[in-house]
Amino acid sequence: MGMQTGAHIVWDWNGTLFHDNDAIIGATNAAFAELGLAPITLEQYRALYCVPVPKFYERLMGRLPSDAEWEVMDATFHRHYVEHRVRCGLAEGAAELLAGWRSSGRSQSILSMYGHDELVPLVKGFGIESHFIRVDGRTGPSGGSKAEHMVRHIAALAGSAGIDPARTVVIGDAADDAVAARHVGARAVLYTGGSHSRASLEGVGVPVVDTLGEAVAEAERLAA
């Protein structure tokens, strides 16, 4: 990566760098169909989505899914997501922004709640892996918060590259990204192009932007 200037971006993947809204909705509705639930629109999803994910299902079902229901829905979601994601690509301008941040001598990484073994080849497939000093996906069960994963990610970055959490900005599309950033003493910028509506993001208390270009500019300001 060359000489670091201190500022570091931790990127979210799904709904941020990877524009997979169509795959998310298709897979979510397939999971709902397993329990006889009506399909939802992207607008409904973005208004109601939250983590832990079973709480999202509670908002739609009127109750928490049982453990057996959750296992069925989770497995169905991931199976259908893999089928739908092949038609999805990087968010508009993402590749250029990643290259520009790297060429300026600053560092960046990915932390995603998508499974690590699926994430790494997907990032490589887009030819962007060289822009990142670390790429971490979820290990362990799905559906939880990103906070504990962020602790491990930041600790690894501090140990390998001397990254300072105080000069780190998390860019993501979900309120949980801001919660995870706060958990480790980092800043956050939230992007409206993914899984949350602007109204739900604005209640978190961090900058909210409509493009990734604005997110990078805001990250540069916050990490200065």
Mean pLDDT of 41-52: 90
Mean pLDDT over 12-37 rounds to 94
Both tokens of residue 191?
A: 């992007």
Mean pLDDT of 165-193: 97
Question: Taking 70 as the threshold, does the pLDDT of residue 62 lie above it?
Answer: yes
Cβ contact 223:8 at 8 Å:
yes
pLDDT of residue 143: 80
Report pLDDT for 141: 87
Does residue 5 have a pLDDT over 70? no
* pLDDT > 60? residue 159: yes
- Average pLDDT, whole number, for the chain? 93
The Cα 15–Cα 179 span in angstroms is 17
Q: pTM score, two decimals?
A: 0.93
Q: Residue 90: beta bridge partners?
A: 18
For every residue of 163-176, DSSP letters joined together read --GGGEEEEESSHH
Q: What is the pLDDT of residues 126-151, one digit of tens each?
A: 999 999 999 999 998 888 889 999 99
pLDDT at 52 over 90: no
Determine which helix (DSSP H) or strand (DSSP E) holds 109, and give its type and residue range.
Answer: strand 107-115
